Chain A
Amino acid sequence: MPIEIYEIVAQGARYWFLFLMALIVWRSYRWFVRDRRQRKKRMRLLPDAGYIGEMVVIDGGDELQKGAALPIPREGTLGRSRMNDLCLPLQHIKNKHCWFCYDREEGLRMEPYHGCTIAIDGEERTGRRDPLYMQHGSRLTIGGAELRLRMFAGFETALRPSAQPTNDENGAPQAAPAIMTQEQFAQWQAQQMQQQYIQQMTYLQWMAQQQAIAAASTAAPASTPSGNPSPLPPTAPESDGYEPSDEPIYDASSYAPPGPSRQIEFDHGMNFYPPTDSEEDPWPYAPNPDAFPMPEEEDFYAQELDEDLTDAAAPPKSAYVGHDESEAAKKAFWDRYLGGGEKR
């Protein structure tokens, strides 16, 4: 192309390029804003996102309300000022008193700052020497207040021996003591199963008898049943709550204690508490960091949280975990396995 024509074309084209560039910038800005909006929406729908558990106030003195639950993020600071993740308006603690971080293997690592004292389950620490770890149910004594850690389901860690729920709390009705060795637990579980089985059998027998009576009474005048156990049906078998409904009724003879449905690593003699997962699937965790997850379908994030999903086929909000429901779930969980805490 001769240079004059090229000059004209190029000078006409500069407006075209400028227009395209403005378009590109505009679109990328809109993309950014849209992503941010979606992220905010996600945060709203998952109110507990980012948190691993709560600190429940057992004894707060004057400043803290008893029973208040303060959410704990994965990493943060604890102190008096409002800029902390865990803000405890206690008099005797510093503005930034302690730093904590969740370690998947060891629990919630607490590192007090220079000159600050905390006590976890009785063990005291001051300053940044060996950090202390808190697990689910550990107690934190700080500045005259006492808090207890309650982790969300899924953040289980092994309980340490000292983290015992003391029995002077109003004991939960029929919770088994949370500390037991593996053999003890297997025994206990077997006992529970057997009890439940017996109860269920009794109930069914009673039902059959009632039906027979009803059938007989229509056919023949009612005659007092004899030899029956109590006229009242026994209490409905206490279900574990976590067992699926269509599980076949146990045959007592064919009972065999189920093995742990999930690999739990623990040293011999260490304590643990029972897993929460049902017998069907293992509890879905985040992808194992040591393996490279192969892409399932076509996208790397097979379960990518595309928000048009929530928009278009938006189930009613109650299908998501509302605050009350999550509270109830956590309460049930704790009551089950820790022998209770404060009744709320």
Chain B
Amino acid sequence: MKQLRFRFRALALIVIGLLTVAGVYGVYSVSTYGSRWFSNARNTRYQSAKRTVVQGDIIDRNGVVLATVDEEGNRVYQSNIKSRSAIVHLIGDNEGNVANGVDSFQANYLLGFETSLTERVTALLRGETRRGDNVTLTADSKLCTAIVDAFASGEVSRGKAGAAVVLNYQTGELLAMVSLPVFDPMNISETVTQNTQHPFWNRALQSTLPPGSTFKIITTAAALENLSDVESLIFTCTGATQVMDQLIRDYNNAQHGEITLARAFRVSCNNTFSQAALLMGDNALRKTAESFGFNDNFLFRDIVVENSVYPTSSRNDVEVAWSGVGQSQVAATPLHMCMVAAAIANDGVMMEPRLLSKVESPSGVVRLKYSQKIYRRALSAELAQKIDGYMKDVVERGTGTRAQVDGLTIAGKTGSAESAANGQNVTHAWFVGYIDDDAYPYACCVFVEEGSSGGSVAAPIAKTIFTYLKNNTK
């Protein structure tokens, strides 16, 4: 019986352990994911709450009211159709077609779930109808409109799908998040729902696609960390590098001959970077990518973004070589690539992108003020300086010259990523870059689906963004 007693206690301990795990997991998941589960647009509690509470307003950083409630209790957006279409993916529409727009993701503020008991009591005593809190965003709606216009005015980019993200790399404020095609939230018709380009899809946050040559920022960082004297190393670009049974070529089959890393970055030479990737090895490259946030589960407070992927299984040389140039199952969202550029600009410190500038109750109680948070330190300051130099080079005399703006020092990287869609090979255009000026600490990422050349299609849109920022922000 002594043995029996001992085993009884052991088994009881196991059962209690299981229950403890369940309890701890419950508390953990509710505190971490609770807001996400709740902010689902399909939550019927919203419908019932909307009956009793007047939704709060959404305001942009300049005071422009983006969404409010009219006298009949309907949600109305800006009167200008272009303006409200441009921000439709940022705010979301009233029917929940756009996933996790501000209107649904911040519903706990907008529908007054965060009002305290005393406020409710006072409101009741005063006989007021209940109103939700007003949410002020860090976003600039005019910038979003300007971006949509820029897409429309480019020859190649007109009519194409794409996305653009603008961040303040010092504070992490999200200034613009645009996804094209846009639609009018107050007029959702059949054509919108049947559109084959899927306008409800938020490409800035939800599309993970190969970043192409913009990934060379990370490859460079990895090379600088892992390969000694790589800056003085001379690579040979013969136009085609044989790796196993494939040939890696450059854009337009360019040949660069003997080339250093800096120059390869400037001209975006695939051969160099694939050779560098093979030299380093997959593990080193993956480690650097993960320090930039690849393979991490993004749990940002204000936005829901898809995770970026750098493959973790062991791979053969061809795949590693192509990963060095941002292909072969490497995938990232435009927001994340913008964060990568922002990290370089900010001396290697990646800030968490935040959208809420202020949340205020109708009675004036401030519930939330803007606070910045460091997401992670991507790389050391001196390496960031080096890459900063390379990126400036790209815009000055490399592939990104079309992003230059008078009076500003722009740094950037272009990218032309190959992907497969509907069985055909398509090339997406990418540009990531930033203004190297403390007065305008902004980074942006432009992505044009099937835009072919990053330098010629995406860079001009970035130029429009930077010009706007120069003219309209202090």
**Which of A4, A12, A75 sits near B124, CB closer than 8 Å?**
A4
Tally A residues with Cβ within 8 Å of B.
Answer: 15
Taken together as a complex, chains A and B put the C-alpha atoms of A125 and B52 apart, in Å, by 84
Is residue A77 contacting chain B, with contact meaning CB distance below 8 A?
yes
Taken together as a complex, chains A and B put the C-alpha atoms of A165 and B137 apart, in Å, by 98
Is residue A202 contacting chain B, with contact meaning CB distance below 8 A?
no
Q: Which residue of chain A is the closest to B120 with respect to CB atoms? A: A8
Contact yes or no, A75 B1, CB < 8 A: yes
Q: In A1-46, which residues have CB < 8 Å from any B CB? A: 3-5, 7-8, 11-12
Known contacts A7-B120, A8-B117: does B6 contact A73 (CB below 8 Å)? Answer: no
Chain A residues with Cβ below 8 Å from B126 are: none
Taken together as a complex, chains A and B put the C-alpha atoms of A277 and B121 apart, in Å, by 78
Chain A residues with Cβ below 8 Å from B6 are: 83
Taken together as a complex, chains A and B put the C-alpha atoms of A175 and B132 apart, in Å, by 98
Known contacts A4-B124, A83-B6: does B1 contact A11 (CB below 8 Å)? Answer: no
Is residue A84 contacting chain B, with contact meaning CB distance below 8 A?
yes
Contact yes or no, B1 A73, CB < 8 A: yes
Q: In B1-32, which residues have CB < 8 Å from any A CB? A: 1-3, 6
Contact yes or no, A85 B117, CB < 8 A: no
Contact yes or no, B124 A84, CB < 8 A: no
Contact yes or no, A83 B2, CB < 8 A: yes
Nearest chain B CB to A279's CB is how many angstroms away? 38
Is residue A76 contacting chain B, with contact meaning CB distance below 8 A?
yes
Nearest chain A CB to B401's CB is how many angstroms away? 61
Taken together as a complex, chains A and B put the C-alpha atoms of A80 and B334 apart, in Å, by 71
Q: In B117-137, which residues have CB < 8 Å from any A CB? A: 117, 120-121, 124, 130
Chain A residues with Cβ below 8 Å from B120 are: 4, 7-8, 11
Chain B residues with Cβ below 8 Å from A76 are: 1-2
Taken together as a complex, chains A and B put the C-alpha atoms of A77 and B4 apart, in Å, by 10
Contact yes or no, B121 A8, CB < 8 A: yes
Nearest chain A CB to B13's CB is how many angstroms away? 16
Q: Which residue of chain B is the closest to A96 with respect to CB atoms? A: B3
Contact yes or no, A12 B117, CB < 8 A: yes
Q: In A257-294, which residues have CB < 8 Å from any B CB? A: none
**Which of A4, A8, A12, A83 sits near B3, CB closer than 8 Å?**
A83
Q: Which residue of chain B is the closest to A14 with respect to CB atoms? A: B117
Chain B residues with Cβ below 8 Å from A77 are: 1-3
1/0 contact trace for B44-85 toward A, CB 8 Å? 000000001000000000000000000000000000000000
Chain B residues with Cβ below 8 Å from A7 are: 120
Chain A residues with Cβ below 8 Å from B124 are: 4-5, 8
Known contacts A5-B124, A8-B124: does B117 contact A84 (CB below 8 Å)? Answer: no
Contact yes or no, B2 A84, CB < 8 A: yes
Nearest chain A CB to B4's CB is how many angstroms away? 9
Q: In A49-95, which residues have CB < 8 Å from any B CB? A: 73-77, 83-85
Taken together as a complex, chains A and B put the C-alpha atoms of A76 and B120 apart, in Å, by 66
Contact yes or no, B121 A85, CB < 8 A: no
Give 29 CB contacts A-B under 8 Å. A3-B52, A4-B52, A4-B120, A4-B124, A4-B130, A5-B124, A7-B120, A8-B117, A8-B120, A8-B121, A8-B124, A11-B117, A11-B120, A12-B117, A73-B1, A74-B1, A75-B1, A76-B1, A76-B2, A77-B1, A77-B2, A77-B3, A83-B2, A83-B3, A83-B6, A84-B2, A84-B3, A85-B1, A85-B2
Which 9 pairs across A and B sit closest by C-beta, in order of nearness?
A76-B1, A83-B3, A85-B2, A8-B120, A4-B124, A75-B1, A85-B1, A11-B117, A8-B121
